[in-house]
A and B are shown apart, each in its own frame.
Chain A
């Protein structure tokens, strides 16, 4: 199933490190996955596990000058001219900027602060359209109105001239989505798109993203720590811990047949309505990124820890159809896989 024609984005062995005064932080360490056109991949994990940095690496927008992609490849297949290797491009160069905004777009966690306060939302939506498609201001504004309508903002003609401070959080996130989709990108990176919103608004935004995906056919990489959101949207799920993929599979497999002890712990920590038992949490705490444990990074918190886990880092083992887990527990029973299995 390694058919490249069905791939939009292929990430292999991605390493994004940060140089800090205390040492090197391996924010993303040897991650591999790929995304099919028009499909949704969910990335879950707790705060600081490298989810956002993965997305920023794909956009080639890793915070400078401390962060840097130090290894691996990110190949984008969505261009008509042929595949392009993103890590080989200059972050601010014309080739990368051509991809950014036009082929791939990103929506961010904080709609409150992610819009420039001194421009109308229309002006901010227009900016990318005018830049990439060479539209004049009038046509750009028409596009902005059309996009606002598409994301379900009422009275778009009036809203287009309003400033971010005049909109509610949900509206701003809709405007962000309108901005990201204004050039019809093939890949949308959604970094915690609902985290800062009310629960009712969250549901609306998720529905909106699903509708727009049906409509426009873009692939989505959905990054969140909210397993409920992932369950609603993603077909395939990738679980991250300390910059590494620990489990990968279809949403069904990861949710109902979770194998990796970390995923099992994550799922157990979701409160269930109607259940009257004490909420389970994962023992211990996330190790310091400056002082990572030897072997498996999760062994300090793992209930099934074995002597081997303290010595060697486990590879990924296939634990089912298109389902793999990076854990020694599955070493004997299952075959070892090197590249991630696809959907």
Chain B
């Protein structure tokens, strides 16, 4: 097994190299660079900037170098752990991401728990009580959850919250706690705001998971081994959870590693709408401003986590399903 992990890690190197190249190319694709958009924003504010100054800026940011040199420089810094500087914020990329990471992770991890805790019982119910009223209600609700875009749901929730409860749903803290140091009151305030992004971000995932799990469970429920388990005289709920659910959950475990990048990235549009202090809006802003080091490092970080996550998924699947071997 160790050799398997080692070999997989070795394969990651060329994969990440290819990804880094593609990332760089794509970020470079739009015409112009950060200086162009910087000059544009200055001009929009009525300021004049001379051609010389522009060239000076380019030189300072290393944007005058040819493409391949910039790529190599960026990559070698990245390997050493230096993600570069953000043009927009004038701060190291690493610091910017680290600032926003804890809250992003709190939201993402809570969302994952929310998804599983809600989806598993509902899918068991729906599968066992197939074609009953309850099943139809959940299936219908699932379709709605799946088809409403997250940001739209966020807007609806914000409207309802403001219109009927008089509270502002955006952000993670009330105004009085926004900059306050951590305290019990601030924690409670966080919890009272946290459920909105969790529900908004989690709804589509929950609905999707219910659909997948219900379908796999329906397949498994008809299998002979369920009858065998039932013939032992154990409780019906034990029959369901220990046997068909245990088998049906395997494909979901195989996707667990893919959650890793989403934990870091956060939901971009939803976060923007709800004005959450997560990494999502940071990435969006970086792409809009052609803040290439911020964007590039961010994308590379996500790719790295995706590759790691896939490995974790494979290992987890082999762990829970004895029929899968490492080769």
The 0/1 profile, CB within 8 Å of A marked 1, for residues 208-232 of chain B is: 0000000000000001110111111
Residue from the list B234, B247, B321 in contact with A97, Cβ < 8 A: B234
Task: Give the nearest-CB partner of B322 in chain A.
Answer: A163
Q: Which of A101, A116, A118, A119 contacts B234 (CB 8 A)?
A: A101
**Distance between Cα atoms of A231 and B242 in the complex (Å):** 39
Please, how many angstroms separate the alpha-carbon atoms of A119 and B239 in the complex? Answer: 13
* B73 beta carbon closer than 8 Å to chain A: no
Using Cβ atoms and an 8 Å threshold, which residues of chain A touch B250? 118
Compute how far the CA of A60 lies from the CA of B247 in the bound complex, rounded to whole angstroms.
25
Q: Does A115 contact B (CB under 8 A)?
A: yes
Q: Which residues of B contact A180 (CB under 8 A)?
A: 231
Q: Mask for A81-103, Cβ within 8 A of B = 1, else 0?
A: 00000000000100011111110
Nearest-CB residue, chain A, relative to B321: A118
Contacts of A100 in B (CB 8 A): 230-233
A22-69 residues with Cβ-Cβ distance < 8 A to B are: 59, 61
The secondary-structure label for the interface of chain B is helix
Say yes or no: B323 contacts A117, CB within 8 Å.
yes
CB-CB under 8 A from A165, the residues of chain B are 322-323
Q: How many residues of B contact A (CB 8 A)?
A: 22
Q: A residues within 8 A CB of B321?
A: 117-118
Q: Looking at the complex, which one of B230, B233, B235 makes contact with A99 (CB distance below 8 Å)?
A: B233
A96, A100, A116, A163 — most chain B CB neighbours (10 Å) = A116
Binds B, one of A5-13, A104-112, A274-282: A104-112
Q: Shortest beta-carbon distance, B245 to chain A, in Å?
A: 11
Asked if A118 and B320 sit within 8 Å, CB to CB, the answer is: yes
| A155-191 interface (Cβ within 8 A of B) | 163, 165, 176, 179-180
Task: For B225, give its contact among A99, A115, A163 (CB under 8 Å).
Answer: A115
Once the chains bind, are A118 and B322 in contact (CB under 8 Å)?
yes
Within the complex, what minimum Cβ distance (angstroms) separates A299 from chain B? 35
Q: How far is the CB of B191 from chain A (nearest CB, A)?
A: 37
The reply to whether A127 and B224 contact each other, CB–CB distance below 8 Å, is no
A132 on the B face (CB < 8 A): yes
**Given A113-B223, A115-B228, A116-B247: A128 in contact with B234 (beta carbons within 8 A):** yes
Contacts of A132 in B (CB 8 A): 233
Q: Mark B11-25, 1 if CB is under 8 A from A, else 0.
A: 000000000000000
B242 neighbours in A (Cβ, 8 Å): 116, 127
A97 touches B225 (CB 8 A): no
Known: A108-B224, A163-B322, A165-B323. A116 touches B246 (CB 8 A): yes
User: Is B100 in the interface zone, CB < 8 Å from A?
Assistant: no
Chain A minimum-CB-distance residue to B246: A118
Least distance between A186 CB and chain B CB atoms (Å): 14
Measured CB to CB, the closest approach of chain A to B64, in angstroms, equals 60
Point out the residues of chain A lying under 8 angstroms from B230, CB to CB: 61, 100
Q: Chain A's nearest CB lies how many Å from the CB of B327?
A: 16
Mark contacts of B299-327 with chain A using CB atoms, 8 A cut-off: 1 yes-contact digit, 0 otherwise.
00000000000000000000011110000
Is A101 in contact with B233, judged by CB distance below 8 angstroms? yes
Task: Check if B243 is an interface residue, CB within 8 A of chain A.
Answer: yes
Contacts of B176 in A (CB 8 A): none
Which of B225, B246, B321 has most chain A Cβ within 10 Å?
Answer: B225
Q: Does B48 contact A (CB under 8 A)?
A: no
> B91: shortest Cβ distance to chain A, in Å?
50
Confirm or deny: A137 has a beta carbon within 8 angstroms of a beta carbon on chain B. no
| Inter-subunit contact A176/B233 (CB<8 Å) | no
Chain A's closest residue to B230 (CB) is A61
Tell me whether A118 and B247 are in contact (CB under 8 A).
yes
With A and B bound together, what is the CA distance between A105 and B230 in angstroms?
10
Q: Which residue of B lies closest to A131 (CB)?
A: B234
Q: Give the docked Cα–Cα distance between A124 and B238 (Å).
A: 13
Chain A contacts for B246, CB-based, 8 A: 116, 118-119
Residue numbers in A under 8 Å from B223 (CB-CB):
113
Instruction: Check if A102 sits within 8 Å of B231, measured CB to CB.
Output: no
CB neighbors of B among A172-224 (8 A): 176, 179-180
Q: Does A114 contact B (CB under 8 A)?
A: yes
Which residues of chain B come closer than 8 Å to A120, judged between CB atoms?
A: 322
With A and B bound together, what is the CA distance between A113 and B219 in angstroms? 13
Q: Do A98 and B233 touch across chains, with their CB atoms under 8 A apart?
A: yes
A-side contacts of B227, CB under 8 Å? 61, 108, 114
* Separation of A98 and B233 alpha carbons in the complex (Å): 6
Selected contact of B228 from candidates A97, A102, A114, A118, CB within 8 Å: A114
10 smallest CB-CB distances across A and B, nearest first, come from A101-B233, A100-B233, A128-B232, A101-B232, A97-B233, A113-B224, A114-B224, A92-B236, A116-B225, A163-B322
9 pairs from A and B in contact (CB 8 Å cutoff)? A100-B230, A100-B232, A106-B231, A108-B224, A108-B228, A117-B321, A163-B322, A163-B323, A165-B322
Apart from A105-B232, A108-B224: 14 A-B pairs, beta carbons within 8 A = A61-B231, A97-B234, A99-B233, A100-B230, A100-B232, A101-B234, A102-B233, A105-B231, A118-B247, A118-B250, A124-B228, A127-B232, A165-B323, A176-B228
